[in-house]
Amino acid sequence: MERFKTLVLKASAALHIVSCTALIALMLLVTANVLMRAIFTSPILGTYDWTGFLTILIIGSALAYCELQNGHIEISFFTDKAGEKTRRWIGKIGQILSCLVLALFTYALFSMAGRLMRAGEVSVTTKTPVHYFAYFMAACFAVFTLAAFLKILDMKMDDQQSAGNPSRESTAGKLTEIRPQTSVTDAAAAEKSTETFKAEKKDAGSGTTKKNFSAEASDDAPSQKSSQKPHEEDPS
């Protein structure tokens, strides 16, 4: 199962790179053709044919990657009002039907590519054999089919895990019951430590005030004595 999943993921990622590369090539080709036509009045020969071929590469290569990323359009107007279990069953049935239809498309594309090869079909301008791109599109649809089948297996494994581990919910419930108690205890301890810190700070401040007051009193004492000495010497 893991080897099959790794194979499908690697194939879809490689095709995704091909799609991005073909998109860049298509943009460069169209831009160069416009510039050549506007500046030198001489367009690139075969732009029409290669635009079609690159479009095949772009669309075909991105199908499997888009399927694995859930990028395809889904119409959920009728299923939104259904229950969770009903939606899951509808999703499974739809995914199975999609996989079957894609398998039929893959077979039809391989058959068409064989007919084009036997007929020797080529493009109009560049005389490029068309069956190469038909086989490539068929291979892309084969990977697309495998990606859809992989999603079916993932749905099945998710159902088995959810059905085989009912204790996870109870464990989660126990954790949610314990967490509020610990949080209240921590809050009470933090509040108590804050009050203790404030009390110690207040005591330290009062001690500093007493020290300052005693220092000022000691500074004032000599001045009072010195002011009293002249009064004592006056009688003499």
Q: Which residues pair with 122 in a beta bridge?
A: 129
How far is residue 12's CA from residue 69's CA, in Å, rounded to a whole number?
Answer: 11
- For residue 180, what pLDDT is reported? 40
**If you search the block for the tokens 């694995």, which residue do you land on?**
68
How far is residue 33's CA from residue 208's CA, in Å, rounded to a whole number?
Answer: 87
DSSP conformational letter for 122: B
- Ranges of each domain in the chain: 2-71+87-159
- For residue 172, what pLDDT is reported? 35
- For residue 158, what pLDDT is reported? 76
Q: What is the pTM of this model?
A: 0.64
Which tokens hold the place of 173? Answer: 């419930």
How far is residue 187's CA from residue 49's CA, in Å, rounded to a whole number?
Answer: 73
How far is residue 66's CA from residue 236's CA, in Å, rounded to a whole number?
Answer: 116
Q: Tens-digit pLDDT profile for the chain (236 aa)?
A: 788 889 999 999 999 999 999 999 999 999 999 999 999 888 898 999 999 999 999 999 999 999 998 887 877 777 777 788 888 888 889 889 999 999 999 999 999 999 999 999 999 889 999 999 999 999 999 999 999 999 888 888 877 777 665 444 432 333 333 334 444 444 455 555 566 656 655 555 555 444 444 444 444 444 444 444 444 444 43
Residue among 131, 139, 74 nearest 105 (CA): 139
How far is residue 138's CA from residue 111's CA, in Å, rounded to a whole number?
Answer: 9
- For residue 234, what pLDDT is reported? 45
Which tokens hold the place of 191? Answer: 């509040």
Q: What is the DSSP string of 170-203?
A: HHHHHHHHHHHHHHHHHHHHHHHHHHHHHHHHHH
Q: Which amino acid is at 24?
A: I
Q: Which residues pair with 129 in a beta bridge?
A: 122
Sign for the pseudo-dihedral over CA of 14, 19, 24, 28: positive
- For residue 201, what pLDDT is reported? 55
Which tokens hold the place of 186? Answer: 């921590």
How far is residue 2's CA from residue 57's CA, in Å, rounded to a whole number?
Answer: 28
- For residue 20, what pLDDT is reported? 96
Phi, psi of 83 (to 5 degrees): -75, 175
- For residue 189, what pLDDT is reported? 53
- For residue 159, what pLDDT is reported? 74
